Structure 1
């Protein structure tokens, strides 16, 4: 994924979801946790977020164990989609979206409780490596 693709295809969905869930606040006063991949750190992305009033929370470098997608979601998706063949990126995207919709809301909420614990552990270790439980 490139920053251009992200801005044209993904950021608008993020903005719409924020506006839908928080119509009175819109995107102002929104904090967004991004990892350190190129499209998230690109100047065009950070400028677009700034214009929307969205503040980016810093993600420590090399801290995959702090990103919920890395420590939880990708494992689920890999397990559920293992062995399947896809004719193209659109078929893969549809399969991933279908799987995401089957995950109960409570599971998403639970992972963010675990994420808060991991963040606390990171703070207490002063950013040094720690073994996540």
Structure 2
């Protein structure tokens, strides 16, 4: 992906989706979380974001808050636990631990 493609295709979709979902709110209230990929840091991208009034949240290169588990393991658990109600935090923790134990070890690789 190049910065040109990103600006012309991706950012235009972000703007359209933002306008569609929140028509009374300007894009200046839109926040994006970018990583350090080249197209995200390119001059064309930053200029386009500035023109659209979209703010970019700072993102450390290797944030411990964004572990790979956030993208592969937790969505699985979330889907499996969807719709269940827990009266106590301990019950939720037990259910999450139980669900994580059902994931095969090779999926952690």
- Cα distance in 1 for partners of 2:52, 2:67 equals 23
* TM-score normalised by L of structure 2: 0.59
| 2:107 corresponding residue in structure 1 | none
| 2:2 corresponding residue in structure 1 | 2
Runs of at least 4 residues off by over 6 Å: none
Q: Which runs of 5 or more residues in structure 1 are unaligned?
A: 77-102, 107-133
Matched pairs, number: 75
Residues 64, 71 of structure 1: 8 Å contact kept: no
Deviation at 1:71, TM superposition (A): 3.3
- The Cα RMSD (Å) is 2.5
Matches within 5 A, 1:104-115: none
| 2:57 corresponding residue in structure 1 | 57
Which of these two proteins has the greater Rg computed from alpha carbons?
2
* TM-score normalised by L of structure 1: 0.49
Matches within 5 A, 1:19-98: 19-63=19-63, 66=66, 71-72=70-71, 75=72
> Deviations along 1:61-104, whole A, 9 cap, x unmatched?
12375278x831xx48xxxxxxxxxxxxxxxxxxxxxxxxxx9x
Greater RCO (CA < 8 Å, at least 6 residues apart): 2
